[in-house]
Amino acid sequence: MIFTIGHTIQSLDDFYDMLQHYDVNCIIDVRSMPFSKHAPQFNKESLCLYLKGKNVLYAHFGKEFGARRDDCLQYVHNGNEDFMQVNFELGVKTDNFKAGINRLDKALSQGRTIALMCTEANPLDCHRFSFISRYLYDNKYDIMHIMRNKETHEIQLKTHKELESRMINEYVRKGKLSGEGDLFSESNDEKKLRDEAYRIKNREIGYKPMMEEKIID
């Protein structure tokens, strides 16, 4: 099993509580740049030192799994805008990404309990869901997402399929997709709906170099 987690702006101790909850002993940092302006406690050096004291291994996979990359840029025409944007479907075919999968498999073979870490609390707002975890889920890895309940702050676990269904249902409700947001069917129509939902998510959060926009770690 592989977990994902967002560090957010919480304390290191609260973050570690989330890891302990599921016996995570290895953090793979998938931020392109392992630093945080709003949560400096999660800068690479301070985080690595803290985790070492807790016997949790830290590894940075920015080149392999990061969102800001130049090896899968695609030209996009959107209304009056023309720009380059990272394409997640192309990204999983790159040598860097494949190298990351090989490193990940090696860590798993050593018996590590791994969490892929980025910034955002909600996996749906992060490339760890729509880029990395989608590939892993489609290739039969068991993916679970560690989160906190917004109201109670209780630590909880969501399956990748649950979050996929949530994503599709939201896009259907907003009129961005037409059809039924039920992923428990294996029909071609459901596959097309799922694929298009991921493309919409890519357009929403995919990194656009040289443009002022939401920054994705």
- pLDDT for the residue numbered 79: 72
* Residues whose CB is less than 8 angstroms from the CB of residue 64 and which lie 6 or more positions away in sequence, other chains included: 96, 97, 99, 100, 101, 103
The strand pairing partners of 78, in sequence order, are: 81
* Residues whose CB is less than 8 angstroms from the CB of residue 123 and which lie 6 or more positions away in sequence, other chains included: 4, 6, 129, 133, 145, 147, 158, 163
- pLDDT for the residue numbered 214: 44
Residue 74 · residue 87 · CB < 8 Å: yes
CA-based nearest residue to 133, from 125, 121, 142? 142
- pLDDT for the residue numbered 129: 98
Neighbours of 36 (CB within 10 A): 18
The torsion defined by the Cα of 64, 37, 117 and 158, in degrees rounded to 10, comes to: -130
Residue 155 · residue 164 · CB < 8 Å: no
Q: How far apart are CA 145 and CA 123, in angstroms?
A: 7
Q: Could you list the mean pLDDT of each consecutive 10-residue stretch along the chain, which spans 217 residues?
A: 98 98 98 96 98 98 96 82 90 98 98 98 98 98 96 96 96 85 56 95 91 45
What's the residue count for the chain? 217
**Prediction pTM value:** 0.90
Q: How far apart are CA 30 and CA 132, in angstroms?
A: 9
Q: Pairing between strand 114-118 and 143-148?
A: unpaired
Residue 198 · residue 169 · CB < 8 Å: no
- pLDDT for the residue numbered 179: 64
Q: How far apart are CA 80 and CA 168, in angstroms?
A: 27
Q: What is the DSSP string of 36-48?
A: -SS-GGGSHHHHH
- pLDDT for the residue numbered 180: 53
- pLDDT for the residue numbered 184: 45
Could you tell me the domains of the chain? 2-159 (3.90.190)
